[in-house]
């Protein structure tokens, strides 16, 4: 029982460390982006969702900035290139980003 707990703790720490890029920038999802911060989309998770988001112009490599948040926190609006897109929080969680310095 103790060995299983230690293994699980080690595994969770390994997963956290594996999400750190070589330049020590933490990859996070779009829901964690703060106002005034710019980021680059690195990955869109979810096969069906990614197709829908790709059609909307949400592609890896695109610059993104948080624009607005609804009064109860869902949905959010982001500036993407030359236009604004509104996303549900559950969809925004599937978009991985990397902060831009």
DSSP strands (E only) in the chain: 28-29, 38-44, 63-69, 76-80, 83-87, 95-99
* 15 three-state secondary structure: helix
- pLDDT tens-digit series, residues 16-46: 555 544 445 567 888 888 888 899 999 888 8
How many residues are recorded in the chain? 101
pLDDT-based confidence at 64, cuts 50/70/90?
very high
Rounded to two decimals, the pTM is 0.69
| Residue 14 reports pLDDT greater than 70 | no
Domains of the chain: 24-99 (2.30.30.90)
User: How many Å apart are CA 46 and CA 72, to the nearest integer?
Assistant: 25
* 44 three-state secondary structure: strand
> Do 53 and 44 form a contact (C-beta atoms < 8 A)?
yes
């Amino acid at each position: 029982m103790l060995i299983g707990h230690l293994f699980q703790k080690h595994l969770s720490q390994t997963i956290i460390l594996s999400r750190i890029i070589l330049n020590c920038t933490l990859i996070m999802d779009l829901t964690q982006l703060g106002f005034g911060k710019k980021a680059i989309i690195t990955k869109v998770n979810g096969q069906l969702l990614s197709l829908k988001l790709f059609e909307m112009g949400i592609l890896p490599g695109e610059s993104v900035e948080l624009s607005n948040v609804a009064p109860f926190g869902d949905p959010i609006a982001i500036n993407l290139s030359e236009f604004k897109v509104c996303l549900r929080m559950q969809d925004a969680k599937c978009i991985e980003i990397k902060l831009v310095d």
